[in-house]
Amino acid sequence: MSGYEKVTLHRFSVLGDVFDIVEWDESYICIEEHRKNGQEDTHQSGAIVKGDDGEIRWEDEGDEMFIEYGGQDLADAILEYVKQNGFPEGNS
């Protein structure tokens, strides 16, 4: 018996920044910036959803913090990355 817990983490990079997928299922992913500059809280976080029609998009205002701290290009690049690579399999 081990005292350790296995943790699965999904990570990706766009425009030179690294992001973690911290929660997911087949229709929802929550993304946070990986580098938090020693802070516990993250500045950049948001959710991307897959609608019933299969469209992948930012949840309502889900891109707001990425735009504020990284710009529209960053928010667009994250969404495009997820569209091209899909959602992680399984659930968090």
Q: Nearest Cα to 59, choosing from 30, 25, 33?
A: 30
pLDDT tens digits for range 58-68: 999 999 999 99
Task: Kindly indicate the confidence band of residue 75, based on its pLDDT and cuts at 50, 70 and 90.
Answer: very high
Task: Kindly indicate the confidence band of residue 82, based on its pLDDT and cuts at 50, 70 and 90.
Answer: very high
What radius of gyration do the chain's Cα atoms show? 14
The SS3 assignment for 21 reads: strand
pTM for the full model? Answer: 0.86
Asked if residue 32 has pLDDT above 80, the reply is yes
Asked if residue 41 has pLDDT above 80, the reply is no
Strand order in the sheet with 56-58: 10-14, 17-25, 28-33, 45-50, 56-58
Length of the chain: 92
